[in-house]
Amino acid sequence: MYGDRLRVIVAMIVGISAVIVATGCSDKGEQPRKTVVVYTCLDQIYAEPILEEFRRRTNIEVRAVYDAEAAKTTGLVNRLIARRDEPDCDVFWNNEIIQTERLAQMGLLARYVSPQAKRFPAQFRDEQDRWTGFAARMRVIIYNTQMISPHKVPKGMGDFTLPKWRSQAAIARPFFGTTLTHMAVLHQKWGPNRLSDYLADLRANDVALCLGNATVRDMVAAGERAFGLTDTDDAHAAMLDGKPVDVVVPDADEGSVLIPNTVALIANCPHPQAGKKLIDYLLSPEVERRLARGRSAQIPLATDLADVKTPWDKLAGRNKAMNFDVHQAAAAIPEVVALLIKARMDRDR
């Protein structure tokens, strides 16, 4: 049943090809009662307290729609596309960047320059001011310290396909969230042929395909798999809980990807002024500090927060991340999904 449901979702991704032309937000239809509707892909446990604090300070009612772990980002993106003619959302708070840029390319995002945006380096801001990136996570290899000794820890993406690690590795199904982002980056860096071969090798090496990054973390922590690919926030949660895990950042040319949160105003949204206020708050120093110091340990990107430390500083953080073209990666999503389907990444066997 899960496989059938997944294939339906994947078909939705592939079938979206229309390019929508939209202009900025309109105040038409703004409700007397101050309200803002936000779609967010960040885990509810992290996002909800931040949105509640915004409500407390501004007295603006926040109606949040959260995504499911098994369809991270993609579910809400599809909903935004489906409602493009009559959007019910004001702000899209994504926990990655590729799908946000994809929405921008489709014309679903409005131009808005937040007063806070200038605090972030140009590489984390859309050239047309349709989105801003903040509070990043890194893709990391998480490993079970009781199963793998420090001198034998996998170093890169290539280790997932080595015969000696057969049936010992795990990744999230790569149709959603940061794992899809990661595949889009590898598609750009490696090219379609190498990525196709890599996907085939993953299947041949019996790499577990999990519902999400958190599931990868849990399998490794429980010793069901020796290592896996996940995000720093998921790994940090296991480390705080005392699980026998540690992490390494993949080699720079094999998957060291820094993935920021992104926030954007939806074109023709119902509550544009309240939406802008929420965006300003999410891009504030307070929110980045909160995300950095909390359980998710996200990496601040603002230039004025260099003093904020995270557990990932020792891993070289943003300085070890791959450079990639977000515009090209977003445009390649349909081709990447087609390669994933061809490699049967949507199936258990």
Q: Which pLDDT does position 316 carry in this prediction? A: 56
Tell me: domain 138-257+338-342, CATH 3.40.190.10, correct? yes
> Computed from CA positions of residues 287, 292, 295, 297, in that sequence, does the dihedral angle turn out positive or negative?
positive
Q: Which pLDDT does position 265 carry in this prediction? A: 98
Nearest to 217 by CA among 248, 186, 243, 256: 243
* Residue 280 to residue 261: CA distance in whole angstroms: 14
Nearest to 54 by CA among 332, 290, 303: 290
Q: Which pLDDT does position 101 carry in this prediction? A: 97
Nearest to 90 by CA among 283, 284, 274: 274
Q: Which pLDDT does position 69 carry in this prediction? A: 56
Q: Which pLDDT does position 322 carry in this prediction? A: 76
Q: Which pLDDT does position 13 carry in this prediction? A: 46
Q: Which pLDDT does position 15 carry in this prediction? A: 46
Residues of the chain with CATH 3.40.190.10: 2-136+259-309, 138-257+338-342
CA separation, residue 316 to residues 48, 177, 185, 253, 262 (Å): 30, 23, 20, 15, 22
* Residue 43 to residue 234: CA distance in whole angstroms: 10
How does pLDDT run along the chain (349 residues), one tens digit per residue?
445 545 544 444 444 433 333 334 444 454 456 999 999 999 999 999 999 999 999 999 999 999 875 555 678 999 999 999 999 999 999 999 999 999 999 999 999 999 999 999 999 999 999 999 999 999 999 999 999 998 899 989 999 999 999 999 999 999 988 999 999 999 999 999 999 999 999 999 999 999 999 999 999 999 999 999 999 999 999 999 999 999 998 876 666 899 999 999 999 999 999 999 999 999 999 999 999 999 999 999 999 998 999 998 877 544 567 789 999 999 999 999 999 999 999 988 7
Q: Which pLDDT does position 224 carry in this prediction? A: 98
Question: Are 262 and 96 in contact, with CB atoms under 8 Å apart?
Answer: yes
Give the DSSP H/E element, type plus range, for residue 228: strand 227-231
Q: Which pLDDT does position 320 carry in this prediction? A: 63
Q: Which pLDDT does position 88 carry in this prediction? A: 96
For domain 2-136+259-309, give the fold.
D-Maltodextrin-Binding Protein; domain 2 (3.40.190)
